[in-house]
Amino acid sequence: MEPKIITLSEKRLVGMRIETSISNFGSPQLWQTFMPRKKEIEDRIEGAYYSIQVYPTGFQMKDFTPTTLFEYWAAIEVESEPSPPSKMESFTLPGGTYAVFIHRGPMSTFQQTLGYIHGQWLPNSEFELDDRPHFELLGDHYLGPNNPDSEEEVWVPIKSRP
């Protein structure tokens, strides 16, 4: 599973966020709240959804535990300066270099993909994690969290090793 290395330009998004952890994962409820309200977002760009994780500055995956708190977003890209609906917020996804992997299968196997990325690929690459949000892009090939044929892009922020 080799990634594509992509330089992403800054993106303007609108969505909803929570503070969560793996042991108390609030993602399903957040998406259930966000999806029925997405049509309220002006100038939205249809086609893909952003599942964003914002970790504390200096965070390393080796320090990640089931109780590690992080900010989680369900969002969609917008064309112009966002004017979020009630109980939604704007989010600027900073540009930069990302390693983009494809996760195939249900969410129950997602940990295996992350294990490969952070346990094998990243330590053996010329890159290290950068302090920017991580995200999954859920596009046309995303068929739902339990579908074995589902695909999503896993975007990992990277920078060259010193």
SS (H, E, C) 54-77: ECCCCCCHHHCCCCCCEEEEEEEE
Query: What pLDDT, on the 0 to 100 scale, is given for residue 99?
Result: 98
Q: Are 155 and 113 in contact (CB under 8 A)?
A: no
Task: Give the distance from CA 148 to its chain's centroid.
Answer: 20
Residue 142 phi/psi, 5-degree rounding, is -80, 115
Q: Please state, for a pLDDT cut of 70, what percent of the chain lies above it.
A: 100
Phi-psi region of 72 (alpha: psi -120 to 50; beta: other; left: phi over 0): beta
Task: Give the distance from CA 149 to its chain's centroid.
Answer: 19
Checking if the pLDDT of 61 tops 80, the result is no
Q: pLDDT per residue over 104-121, tens digit each?
A: 999 889 989 999 999 999
Quick one: pLDDT band at residue 27, thresholds 50, 70, 90? confident
Secondary structure element (H or E) that encloses residue 51, with its range: strand 44-54
Query: What pLDDT, on the 0 to 100 scale, is given for residue 16?
Result: 98
Query: Pick the residue with more confidence: 99 or 63?
Result: 99
Query: What pLDDT, on the 0 to 100 scale, is given for residue 56?
Result: 85
Q: pLDDT per residue over 32-49, tens digit each?
A: 999 999 999 999 998 899
Mean pLDDT of 3-13: 97
Closest CA to 15 of 72, 68, 56, 81: 72
Terminal C-alpha separation, the chain: 25
Quick one: pLDDT band at residue 21, thresholds 50, 70, 90? confident
SS3 22: coil
